Amino acid sequence: MFLRFFLILTGSLLAGIARSQELENTRISMQLKQASLKEAIQIIEALTPFKFAASAEDIEDGSGITLDIKNQPLSKVLPILLKGRGLQYQQIKQTIILKKDPALKTTSSLILPVVARTAEKYTISGTVKSQKTGETIIGATLRIANTGTTSNEYGFYSIVLAPGNYHLEVSSVGMKYKSIDVSLTGNTVLNISLEEDSKDLQEVTIRATTAGRSLRTPQMGMERLSMPEIKDIPVLLGEKDILKTIQLLPGIKSAGDGNSGFYVRGGGADQNLILLDEATVYNPSHLLGFFSTFNSDAIKNIVVYKAGMPAQYGGRLSSVVDVRMNEGNNQDYGASGGIGLISSRLNIEGPIQKDRSSFLLSGRRTYADLFLKLSKDSNVNRSRLYFYDLNAKANYILGNKDRLYLSGYFGRDVLGQSNIAGINWGNTTATARWNHLFNSRLFSNTSLIYSNYDFKITNKEAGNEFNIISQIKDWNLKEELQWYAGSKNTLNIGFNAIHHTIRPGEISASKDAGVNSMILPRRYSLENALYATDTWKATDRLTLTYGVRASAFSILGQGDYYNIDASGKIIDTLHYGSGQVVKTYFNIEPRLAAGYQLNTTTAVKASYVRNTQNLHLVSNSTSSSPTDRWVANTNIIRPEISDQVSIGYYKNLQEGRYELTVESYYKTMQHQIDYRDGANVYTNQPIETQLLFGKGRAYGIEWLLRKKTGRLTGWISYTLSKTERKIDGINNDQWYNARQDRTHDIAVVGIYQLNKKWTLSADWVFYTGDAITFPSGKYMVDGDVYFLYTKRNAWRMPSYHRLDLGATCQLKKRKKFSSEINFSLYNAYGRENAYQITFRQSKDDPDRTEALQTSLFRFIPSISYNFKF
Amino acid sequence: MKFAIYIGLILLFSSCQKVISIDLDSTSKQYVIVGTLTDQPGVCQVSITQTKNFNDNNQFPGVSGATVTLENNGVVTPLPETSAGIYQSSALTGTPGNTYHLSVTIDGHVYTASSTMPQPVALDSIYVSTESFSNNKYMTVVYHDPAGIANYYHYVQYVNGKKEKTIFADNDEFTDGQTVKSRLSFNNDNNDNSRDIHTGDSVRIDMFCIDPDVYKYWYSLNDGATGANQSASPSNPVSNITGTSVQGYFSAQTLQSKIIRVP
């Protein structure tokens, strides 16, 4: 009897809880303009399982309702709708009954701040971080009342609002959604900790709110990826690689099969500004471009700008890739790592002082040479072929207002025959940053950055010993102020000064080497920039970003500079002393963007951006080579300039489950550089004598349909584009297709969570073959056949397509230890994609010539094991 | 250096190759003029052929009926046609330091070229070594480069009388005044065994000292027009012959040869 009563009681209690949770948990988005309450109710009935019961006069009369609600629980929405009508509601199961409230007089109340009543405004600010690790979260979306913001590169946010009671919603990819009630009666510091989104299936399917693309900001041409989003996408040899994953996005094209190099909207591979914790990475690839320098264990977040680059970025024409490293867990010690087919990784992090400081050390090394050691051939087993990366970071919270970060990267490729010859190359970066909060609205970051790329060739053959060294080295000072000036304006102001040293090549040779020791003159330059930009919420729907970056590039002595004639011959030589300014190039780079929100789910945006580039990579090979040379502006090599206008359409479909983005762009490029025909790439002659200059243009349209929630996530992207060059002295001075001109570019990415244990993934890519120069004829010189060329890049490589499959198995979780096994198959149906096509006299019939296609990767399986404790 | 990189690439990834058919368009024919004069008594020869379409066979018949002359210090020597497309005279021997002017008239088109014969640099020796990586044998040419002047070299290798098609050309930009050991290693890209050097083979090296324009021709021919390399933008070589739509070169060059029997 007692037991039965207890069961009934708990049963009814549970039902009650479920009911109240339903109103709480049912979230809707709606937009009304002078609508009646009846219309509002009809919309809610259509969007939710709830039905309303009310007398007609109660809901037909009364003033029109205008509101714009996004993803609010019904329990919040109903009071807004009923406010001032003297109505109250009661929920019985699926029915909501509206009745007159006899106790209530029809007066307005201050339940929710719809209109600011006083001029006085307060700031709510703080840092968004992960509860588990203490890592700050970049780009978390914060929504409050009718406004919102995203956390900056250091997790900081600041919102200016009128006093009142608010409901703050915070979301970020891979994190659990959080909502906080805030009573704003003065400036408030609110640090927000988000829980990690577990792989629990139920939560995955229920999760309704994720960080969708912001419709409000005018920022366009931007893609933000965090590691959890991309970790299941299959990749070559199981090496997670952010630079390869971004190539699956529209407008970003792979530089070749398995290559981490990429082209953005018609730009060259050297026109991407690739930053690691703000330091320029001059050669972001390992092993001829097949792997990027970014060890995914150490990476927190990556942002790619294809257009509308914010004014704090400058120096490259076509894109900015801003990679940020993890800071290290300041809560608990932990280690993670992985063992793969070609490399192993280990990552160690932990607090130095809990909650206040932390460190991170992350290393990766490949072991292709360990396989070589298995060879019986002593020449093979003594060969070296490997690369490694080391990332280190430490950060200190020095108080409520100051935080210090130190981070560094060191990576090296080594390739050689043990005692005879070798080449090694790599990047080194170091960044010291100081965050300071002047007050809750003024955030400052000061960075001192060192960046270095060098390669060293050694030859130790007896009687022929020499070394060749080449280097580019930067010292960079940056200061940035983010001023959250009010509820309508956010200003970014800053400067940036970089000192570049380029050592084009230095040969040191033994006495009998047969080669002369030689130092090509070093080049010095100073790159300064000053910028200011304001993001202005002009109306509830219209937001504008307008700013300018002023850049000045000064070529510094000491050194010789030249005047050359049209054929590349030196006419005269100009000598400059140490510290003397050879020439300064000034450029004004406007950065303008506008975003207009059509309704709660749709926005249109437009932007114009000018970029300049003062350092140029001259390369004449199809794949990236460690010996490609960076050259700075000279009196002859002028800054490259690009102007890009773009427009875009953004729509969230099906309650934000799908996201559609369409962007179109037109870009012109000035002072583009190419080699002369017959140019000598390795010469100590002034490089200008080997170069030609011209212009470029690129235009296209990009579609991206993305699904961010549910068991199945992923995207479909399609790019239709055209890229051309016109260089005086090439192709009879006519426009020709740039090598990276590809008409169609399609990527389909899918990740499916089968159950708690298994995650399956696949991606398929298709693109039009590169524009390429094939021979039109042939002729004989001294008994051998050579090929005749008539038109530059007038042919196409065969179309490229490829399917990759992946599967991740989550192994049994223990309290502190978790691990997974990842299987992948690259090029699953074994398409023979052309890596290169060469021409030769036929092997079988010397009387004929033939085309030979080389393909690299077919059916490449891999397995890797990853752990974390 | 590039070689080591290729080795690494091949080791790491098993690449696969196949012959494919590509529809290459046809183009109007161009004349191909190759003229040489050496400091050795023998033959000054100019050959004239034409370009063909890619899918045609590799027979390049000579072009008859041209008027070919060579001028030096005001002395014009005609080169009569001795067989189809071959114009030669055995009466001419070049002198280092002299500049020679070639003139070819075909079908109303005039082509001219000049070349200055450089001072010869002595070919000291040649020897055979074994590539440590592949165990292939290769030749090394040894000479002492004269200091203070720019020198340009072109070598041609014959194995048992068969010419190696790889272009070997050097300058002294990084080796001025040094005893230079120039390695003639090559990539046997069609796995033709007769190109490789084996014990017992007879190997002859011809060393030509050439002028800068001819060096430029060999360098750019090798870089852009062999059909084999990684160059992002293949192109026709920079020729020292002036005239429209013409390929080839004219070189007044010194010649020295050495032959060894491979041990």
The predicted-structure confidence for B67-83, as pLDDT tens digits, reads as follows 999 999 999 999 999 99
pLDDT for A10 beyond 60: no
Q: Residue A11: CB partners within 8 Å, gap ≥ 6?
A: none
Question: What distance in Å separates the CA atoms of residue A556 and residue A551, rounded to the nearest whole number?
Answer: 16
Average pLDDT of A625-636? 86
Question: What distance in Å separates the CA atoms of residue A230 and residue A249, rounded to the nearest whole number?
Answer: 12
Q: Residue A319: CB partners within 8 Å, gap ≥ 6?
A: A252, A264, A265, A267, A271, A272, A273, A304, A305, A306, A309
pLDDT for A37 beyond 50: yes
Average pLDDT, chain A: 85
Identify which has the larger pLDDT, A302 or A46: A302
Q: B244 CB near a chain A CB, below 8 Å?
A: no
CB nearest A621 (choices: B22, B221, B231):
B231
Q: Residue B124: CB partners within 8 Å, gap ≥ 6?
A: B142, B143, B144, B179
Yes or no, beta carbons of A778 and B32 under 8 Å apart = no
Task: Tell me what pLDDT residue B5 has.
Answer: 44
CB nearest B24 (choices: A385, A677, A774):
A774
Q: B105 CB near a chain A CB, below 8 Å?
A: no
Mutate to test the interface with B, among A788, A796, A839 (most CBs of B within 10 A): A788
Yes or no, beta carbons of B232 and A621 under 8 Å apart = yes
pLDDT for B105 beyond 90: yes
- The Cα of A792 is separated from the nearest Cα of chain B by a number of Å equal to 7
Yes or no, beta carbons of A683 and B247 under 8 Å apart = no
pLDDT digits (tens, 9 = 90+) for A577-592: 988 999 999 999 999 9
Task: Tell me what pLDDT residue A57 has.
Answer: 67
Going along A277-382, which residue ranges are E strands? Answer: 279-280, 285-286, 291-292, 299-305, 319-325, 334-339, 343-353, 357-366
Q: Which of A208-217, B61-70, B170-179 shows the lowest per-residue confidence on average (mean pLDDT)?
A: A208-217
Contact in structure between A70 and A143 (CB atoms under 8 Å) = yes
Task: Tell me what pLDDT residue A203 has.
Answer: 39
Average pLDDT, chain B: 88
pLDDT for A682 beyond 60: yes
Q: Which chain A residues have a beta carbon less than 8 Å from that of B150? A: none
Task: Tell me what pLDDT residue A854 has.
Answer: 85
A832 HSE (CA, 13 A, CB side): 13
CB nearest A856 (choices: B13, B19, B221):
B13
Yes or no, beta carbons of A677 and B236 under 8 Å apart = yes
User: What is the rounded (10 degree) CA torsion for A153, A159, A165, A169?
Assistant: -30
pLDDT for A17 beyond 70: no
Give me the residues paired with residue A351 across strands. A358
Task: Tell me what pLDDT residue A204 has.
Answer: 39
Task: Tell me what pLDDT residue A211 has.
Answer: 45
Reported as a pLDDT band with limits 50, 70 and 90, residue A510 is: confident
Reported as a pLDDT band with limits 50, 70 and 90, residue A117 is: very low
> CB pairs below 8 Å between A and B: how many?
231
Yes or no, beta carbons of B231 and A620 under 8 Å apart = yes
Residue type, A447: S
Reported as a pLDDT band with limits 50, 70 and 90, residue A101 is: low
Q: pLDDT > 70: what percent of chain A?
A: 90
Task: Tell me what pLDDT residue A620 has.
Answer: 66
Q: B243-263 in b/e burial notation, b at 16+ Cβ within 10 A?
A: beebbbbbbbbbbbebeeebe
Average pLDDT of A231-244? 83
Reported as a pLDDT band with limits 50, 70 and 90, residue A624 is: low
Residue type, A125: S
pLDDT for B204 beyond 90: yes
- The Cα of A591 is separated from the nearest Cα of chain B by a number of Å equal to 34
Residue type, A262: F
Yes or no, beta carbons of A781 and B221 under 8 Å apart = yes
Q: Read off the tokens for A99.
A: 């009745």
Task: Tell me what pLDDT residue A667 has.
Answer: 96
Task: Tell me what pLDDT residue A605 has.
Answer: 95
- The Cα of A416 is separated from the nearest Cα of chain B by a number of Å equal to 7
Q: Which chain A residues have a beta carbon less than 8 Å from that of B173? A: 683-685
- The Cα of B74 is separated from the nearest Cα of chain A by a number of Å equal to 29
Task: Tell me what pLDDT residue A735 has.
Answer: 95
Average pLDDT of A18-42? 72
CB nearest A507 (choices: B16, B174, B247):
B174
Q: B25 CB near a chain A CB, below 8 Å?
A: yes
pLDDT digits (tens, 9 = 90+) for A248-282: 999 999 888 878 889 999 998 889 999 999 999 99
Task: Tell me what pLDDT residue A372 has.
Answer: 66
User: What is the rounded (10 degree) CA torsion for A19, A22, A24, A27?
Assistant: -160
Task: Tell me what pLDDT residue B116 has.
Answer: 96
Task: Tell me what pLDDT residue A145 has.
Answer: 78
Q: Which chain B residues have a beta carbon less than 8 Å from that of A680? A: 219
Yes or no, beta carbons of A841 and B191 under 8 Å apart = no
Reported as a pLDDT band with limits 50, 70 and 90, residue A206 is: very low
Yes or no, beta carbons of A787 and B54 under 8 Å apart = yes
Q: pLDDT > 90: what percent of chain B?
A: 63
Task: Tell me what pLDDT residue A746 has.
Answer: 96
Residue corresponding to tokens 């020295």: B256
Task: Tell me what pLDDT residue A378 has.
Answer: 61
Q: B27 CB near a chain A CB, below 8 Å?
A: yes
Measured in whole angstroms, the distance separating CA A542 from the mean position of its chain's CA atoms is 26
Q: How far is CA B136 from CA A283, B130, B184, B199, in A?
A: 34, 6, 12, 11
Q: Which of A293-297, A776-780, B251-255 shows the lowest per-residue confidence on average (mean pLDDT)?
A: A293-297
Yes or no, beta carbons of B231 and A835 under 8 Å apart = no
Q: Read off the tokens for A572.
A: 């005269």
Average pLDDT of A75-101? 77
Task: Tell me what pLDDT residue A766 has.
Answer: 96
Rounded to the nearest 5 degrees, what angle is found at the Cα of A204, between the Cα atoms of A198 and A210? 95
Q: Which chain A residues have a beta carbon less than 8 Å from that of B174? A: 507, 515-516, 518, 684
- The Cα of A287 is separated from the nearest Cα of chain B by a number of Å equal to 8
Reported as a pLDDT band with limits 50, 70 and 90, residue A185 is: confident
pLDDT for A53 beyond 60: yes
pLDDT digits (tens, 9 = 90+) for A784-821: 999 999 888 889 999 999 999 999 998 888 878 889 99
pLDDT for A165 beyond 60: yes
Average pLDDT of B119-126? 94
Between positions 138 and 167 of B, the ones with CB within 8 A of A are: 156, 163, 165
- The Cα of B66 is separated from the nearest Cα of chain A by a number of Å equal to 18
CB nearest B233 (choices: A783, A792, A856):
A792
Task: Tell me what pLDDT residue B200 has.
Answer: 93
Yes or no, beta carbons of A778 and B52 under 8 Å apart = yes
Yes or no, beta carbons of A848 and B16 under 8 Å apart = no
pLDDT for A718 beyond 50: yes
Question: What distance in Å separates the CA atoms of residue A514 and residue B170, rounded to the nearest whole number?
Answer: 13
**Closest residue in chain B to residue A856, using alpha carbons only:** B15
Reported as a pLDDT band with limits 50, 70 and 90, residue A505 is: confident
Q: pLDDT > 90: what percent of chain A?
A: 41
Q: Which chain B residues have a beta carbon less than 8 Å from that of A837? A: 20, 22
Give me the residues paired with residue A536 across strands. A489, A544
Q: B23 CB near a chain A CB, below 8 Å?
A: no
Identify which has the larger pLDDT, A643 or A179: A643
Residue corresponding to tokens 């130190």: A406
Question: What distance in Å separates the CA atoms of residue A661 and residue A219, rounded to the nearest whole number?
Answer: 13
Q: Residue A813: CB partners within 8 Å, gap ≥ 6?
A: none
Q: Which chain B residues have a beta carbon less than 8 Å from that of A513? A: 178
Task: Tell me what pLDDT residue A739 has.
Answer: 87
Please return the burial class of A206, using the count of CB atoms within 10 Å of its CB with bins 0-12, 13-18 and 19+.
Answer: exposed
Give pTM, 2 decimals.
0.83
DSSP-derived 3-state class of residue A298: helix
Task: Tell me what pLDDT residue B92 has.
Answer: 87
Q: Residue A15: CB partners within 8 Å, gap ≥ 6?
A: none
Question: What distance in Å separates the CA atoms of residue A862 and residue B194, rounded to the nearest whole number?
Answer: 40
Contact in structure between B3 and B229 (CB atoms under 8 Å) = no
Average pLDDT of A327-340? 89
pLDDT for A446 beyond 90: yes
Q: Which chain B residues have a beta carbon less than 8 Å from that of A507? A: 174
Mutate to test the interface with A, among B174, B178, B188, B236 (most CBs of A within 10 A): B174
Mutate to test the interface with A, among B14, B49, B51 (most CBs of A within 10 A): B51
Task: Tell me what pLDDT residue B228 has.
Answer: 76
Percent of chain A as helix, strand, coil, to the nearest 5: 10, 55, 35
Task: Tell me what pLDDT residue A110 has.
Answer: 35
| Strands A95-100 and A122-130, sheet pairing | unpaired
